[in-house]
């Protein structure tokens, strides 16, 4: 039998469920609650560093049905604060599985709440936006107090907690690319390493230190938190523009926009899922994309760069480009492992830019 538990959002909404995963000593877990609409890939979602500071509520009702395997980890450990699901399958049925999901959560000290009406929770977050809150086995009054004190991700730098502490190398193909690790996913590094010799460096690496590595290109990774809290990183990036080709993804896209003088803002409940339609304005091509972002770029602030991609659901800027300074970026995840592979061509576009400065088409 599982122990009864509750989830309380900062606006006072209460949801009931049962405790699962890791059990914190005080029975309280806090974070910003967001929902993810992907039908599979729960391990990749849970281990994506971009969820630092957040609690992930899965809209798909059955989670854990194919277990977990180290091959699907996107980072060395989960960085999310917790997980909320309707039903946590006790047995994973897949030949690749090496562990059950709940055992994985316990091992990595990730609390979970199961048996929750995730449909109601999702509708609430859609109506009121991503909200901080608390969940656990503590008395309801204690959880309500914790929810009122919980913080979201605004104005907070989570990148310094997830970035690598030391540089490392991957791959030995083609040109040399320096990749800023703002919370980079393993699949992203794998895609780069198939095409380049990659030096992955900490987020706080300076422009001078990057240039000392003599890169043929610079890559800006995904990562967590509010890009407005990272203007120091954007300032260093601005010093690289025009001197070396640049390709950014997710947080890297937002930091590139800010380096170009643009602004970012918080979406009501963000884009978290694997089925967002995006239009490439250069080619007219429609891509189904995987996304995970709470913040977006203000199109009216882009005096220097052009919008290259838009989300067909709500018109959010999903890409930008500046030919003169040989830089481009996308808000979504072309590596998408697992997920749609429609946008993998962007890594080839970056390779062409690094090789010859010709990149716009294709």
Task: Identify whether 362 is part of a domain.
Answer: no
Amino acid 341: pLDDT: 84
pLDDT tens-digit series, residues 159-174? 999 999 999 999 998 8
Looking at residue 358, its pLDDT comes to 64
If asked whether residues 142 and 263 sit together in one domain, one would say: no
Same-domain status, 133 and 166: no
- Is residue 219 within 8 A of residue 248, CB to CB? The reply is yes
The reported pLDDT for the residue numbered 342 is 85
Domain co-membership, 66 together with 85: yes
Q: What is the CATH number of the domain that holds 213?
A: 3.40.50.880
Number of domains composing the chain: 2
Query: Which residue, of 149, 169, 188, is where some domain finishes?
Result: 149
Residue 360: pLDDT over 70: no
Which is more confident, 361 or 200? 200
195 and 140 share one domain: no
In a domain, 53, yes or no: yes
10-65 pLDDT, tens digit per residue, is 999 999 999 999 999 999 999 999 999 999 999 999 999 999 999 999 999 999 99
- State the pLDDT at residue 42: 96
- In terms of domains, do 192 and 322 share one? yes
Collapsing DSSP states into helix, strand and coil, what is residue 297? strand
Output the pTM of the full model.
Answer: 0.95
DSSP state of 229: G
Q: Is residue 268 part of a domain?
A: yes
Which domain, by its residues, includes 53?
A: 4-149
| Active-site residue, 250 included | yes
Which of residues 97, 124, 149 is at a domain's end? 149
Cα distances (Å, whole numbers) of residue 293 to 8, 12, 28, 48, 50: 23, 25, 26, 12, 8
Element (H, E) at 347: helix 345-356
Among residues 103, 131, 149, the one where a domain terminates is 149
Residues 352 and 278 in one domain: yes
The tens digit of pLDDT for each residue in 85-139 reads 999 999 999 999 999 999 999 999 999 999 999 999 999 999 999 999 999 999 9
- In a domain, residue 154? The reply is no
Structure tokens at 277: 């339609």
Query: Both 255 and 145 in a single domain?
Result: no
Q: What secondary structure letter does DSSP report for 65?
A: T
Instruction: Check whether residue 16 and residue 115 sit in a common domain.
Output: yes
333 catalytic per annotation: yes
Say which of 44, 74, 250, 271 is annotated catalytic. 250
In the chain the first and final C-alpha atoms are separated, in Å, by 55
Dist CA 195 CA 5 (whole Å): 48
**361 in a domain, yes or no?**
no
Mean pLDDT of the chain: 95
- Number of Cβ within 10 Å of residue 358's Cβ equals 11
Specify whether 100 is catalytic.
Answer: no
Q: If pLDDT is split at 50, 70 and 90, which confidence band does 199 have?
A: very high
Q: How confident is the model at residue 359 (pLDDT cuts 50, 70, 90)?
A: low
Contact 14, 8 (CB under 8 A): yes
Residue with tokens 């590139």: 256
Clarify whether residues 104 and 240 are in a common domain: no
Predicted confidence band of residue 357 (pLDDT cuts 50, 70, 90): low
Same domain, 58 and 26: yes
- Provide the CATH number for the domain around residue 132: 3.50.30.20
Residue 362: pLDDT over 50: no
Instruction: Tell me which residue has tokens 């909200």.
Output: 131
Token pair listed for 335? 């590596």
- Catalytic residue (choose from 6, 271, 309, 333): 333
Choosing from 74, 102, 325, 335, the catalytic residue is 335
Do residues 192 and 138 share a domain? no
Does residue 49 share a domain with residue 133?
yes
Percent of the chain clearing pLDDT 90 (strictly above) = 93
pLDDT digits (tens, 9 = 90+) for 252-291: 999 999 999 999 999 999 999 999 999 999 889 999 999 9
């Amino acid at each position: 039998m599982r122990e009864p538990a509750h989830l309380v959002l900062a606006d006072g909404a209460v949801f009931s469920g049962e405790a699962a995963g890791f059990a914190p000593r005080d029975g309280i877990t806090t974070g910003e609650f967001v929902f993810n609409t992907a039908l599979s890939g729960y391990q990749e979602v849970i281990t994506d560093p971009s969820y630092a500071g957040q609690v992930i509520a899965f809209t798909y009702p059955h989670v854990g049905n194919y277990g977990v395997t180290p091959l699907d980890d996107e980072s060395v450990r989960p960085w999310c604060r917790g997980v909320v699901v309707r039903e946590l399958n006790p047995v994973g049925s897949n030949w690749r599985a090496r562990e059950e999901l709940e055992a994985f959560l316990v091992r990595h000290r990730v609390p979970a709440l199961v048996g929750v009406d995730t449909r109601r929770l999702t509708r609430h977050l859609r109506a009121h936006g991503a909200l901080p809150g608390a969940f656990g086995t503590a008395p309801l009054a204690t959880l309500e107090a914790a929810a009122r004190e919980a913080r979201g991700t605004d104005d907070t730098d989570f990148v310094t907690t997830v970035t690598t502490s030391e540089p490392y190398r991957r791959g030995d193909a083609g040109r040399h690319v320096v990749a800023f690790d703002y919370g980079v996913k393993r699949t992203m590094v794998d895609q780069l390493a198939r095409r380049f010799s990659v030096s992955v460096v900490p987020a706080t690496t300076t422009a001078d230190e990057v240039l000392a590595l003599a890169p043929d290109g610079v890559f800006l990774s995904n990562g967590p938190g509010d890009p407005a809290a990272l203007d120091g990183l954007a300032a260093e990036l601005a010093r690289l523009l025009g001197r070396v080709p640049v390709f950014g993804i997710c947080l890297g896209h937002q930091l590139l926009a800010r380096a170009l003088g643009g602004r970012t803002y918080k979406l009501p409940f963000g884009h978290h899922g694997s089925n967002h339609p995006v239009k490439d304005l250069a080619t007219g091509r429609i891509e189904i994309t995987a996304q995970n972002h709470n913040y977006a770029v203000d199109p009216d602030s882009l005096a220097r760069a052009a919008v290259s991609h838009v989300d067909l659901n709500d018109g959010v800027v999903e890409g930008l480009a500046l030919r003169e300074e040989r830089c481009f970026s996308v808000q979504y995840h072309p590596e998408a492992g697992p997920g749609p592979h429609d946008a993998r061509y962007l890594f080839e576009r970056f390779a062409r830019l690094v090789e010859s400065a010709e990149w716009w088409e294709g």
